[in-house]
Structure 1
């Protein structure tokens, strides 16, 4: 599989399979728990903090299992120069599969509050990944930390949506752990952070879906909706379940919102108008319908 995309991309080369059993197996989340991710102690600024990952068997739309990070108690914030009265910036995590043909590029921004993020890089290594290079740049929006990531076993970029989602949740968990003020700005903060968001996003209002031609061989699908754990995996599954191939993707976490761009095709061609409507309606139904509690079954 190859992958590609910009911003918070998730390059995915996922060809649809008409065999439902194969589709289900492709997206079944590996049932394993990842506990006590050891953190790299970089300086005396850090107390030893070991966030844990809990594998919850909750019904999260179409993905049966999802790795959800739980923030642990905070002893020190990575950079101690921000005051309580400061305006908390919007956390942004970008997974980019377009800018580098050989690696998945991750970009993390949280104003000017982030340090070297060596703890985050070490947590990514515990997912079976290598951080092959890292750099930092500044602009008017703050300090941008960029990592180029490959799979340790193959040396290639990540093309598995479940692993991409695990990367995203690992980064957000570390941000909540070392910067508890970010919890109120993230969807994960409602259940797993120390400070829940003051306002919840109305998913019906927040959800926007468009499909447009991107040449003769593919189309561009744009999705914006309320963020939640497992969203990336679920979106890809819904798209491929209607026999649309995902060539590459881009997945951004911006505070309480998730924004995704997918290059998609149907049998190697751009998606025709009737199939565009099927795709949009399927995604809209999935994203905006009321969730059913597992206990009701």
Structure 2
């Protein structure tokens, strides 16, 4: 498959990933995430793909645009993986104040995962520079469906961000894994974890999870949901500094979750998230 040339133009931001409330997803088109279990009536996520190696950046010394910032205040790094807004591509938005370069090394690292950046845009607003990438799989030309690959995309972008902007390391939970400087403050998981479930139309519910970030969190969340036979139709996964925020459209046999099942799901997630070292066999 031929790769599309990527051009990025600097422009004012308009509608850059607004914060999601319990009803703001209703007008969005459902994304085609792959099924976790035998295919239910609606498309969902799949967890059967092999482990994906996260490539490292080519250089840890240079900044991609050839510049660096010496200001004392480091902005909060943000990586948003959006499966809702585009039916044909996975949208990734990256923000680090005004410090980001063109992310050419990041795009090359994504190609090593078997992905193609079909479109890139850069815009500015009061919070800084926002870089948006539309990503598809090279093998199919379609958006990413496997949660393992989505997590590999997230870790690849964060790894490259830390490599080229090491000052961001202490602002990210994953700085302890990828970066030269771990976070100076640890997040209390009990305090940081919030789980809410809302009705979101006649055939689905909206699950909102906020918790302390860690590697593999996206895959873990999807597996917990799948373990109680709930289907993830689409969603968004945001990394904001030390925290992770997930918004999943979920259903049970093509219907919204009833109150009893909502409670089971919330309890399962809360139990796992507050015990991040619990082995899978004891869960």
TM over 0.5: yes
> What does residue 219 of structure 1 align with?
205
Find the aligned partners of 2:53 and 2:93 in 1 and give their Cα distance: 26
> What does residue 210 of structure 1 align with?
196
Is structure 2 residue 67 aligned with structure 1 residue 80? yes
> Post-superposition, which runs of at least 4 consecutive aligned residues in structure 1 deviate over 6 A?
6-10
Alpha carbons of structure 1 residues 113 and 258: separation in structure 2 relative to 1, 3 Å: same
Relative contact order, CA 8 A, sep 6+: which one is greater?
A: 1
> What does residue 163 of structure 1 align with?
149
Moved more, 186-195 or 248-257: 186-195
Secondary structure (helix, strand or coil) at the match of 2:174 reads helix
Of the three residues 92, 101, 110, the one matched with 1:124 is 110
Alpha carbons of structure 1 residues 14 and 34: separation in structure 2 relative to 1, 3 Å: closer
Alpha carbons of structure 1 residues 82 and 32: separation in structure 2 relative to 1, 3 Å: closer
**Contact 2:169 2:182 (C-alpha < 8 Å) held by counterparts:** yes
**Contact 2:57 2:159 (C-alpha < 8 Å) held by counterparts:** no
**Contact 2:54 2:155 (C-alpha < 8 Å) held by counterparts:** no
Shift in Å, 1:216: 1.3
- Residues 188-199 of structure 1: pairs in structure 2 closer than 5 A: 188-199=174-185
| RMSD (Å), alpha carbons | 2.4
Gaps (5+ residues) in structure 1? 1-5, 20-25, 40-48, 50-73
Q: TM-score, normalization: structure 1?
A: 0.77
**Contact 1:222 1:261 (C-alpha < 8 Å) held by counterparts:** yes
Gaps (5+ residues) in structure 2? 1-16, 21-29, 40-45
Find the aligned partners of 2:57 and 2:184 in 1 and give their Cα distance: 31
Alpha carbons of structure 1 residues 290 and 243: separation in structure 2 relative to 1, 3 Å: closer
Of the three residues 252, 267, 278, the one matched with 1:266 is 252
State how many pairs are aligned.
Answer: 248
Of the three residues 267, 275, 281, the one matched with 1:281 is 267
Of the three residues 149, 158, 165, the one matched with 2:135 is 149
- Residues 222-233 of structure 1: pairs in structure 2 closer than 5 A: 222-233=208-219
Find the aligned partners of 1:31 and 1:160 in 2 and give their Cα distance: 11
Secondary structure (helix, strand or coil) at the match of 1:251 reads strand
**Contact 1:13 1:245 (C-alpha < 8 Å) held by counterparts:** no
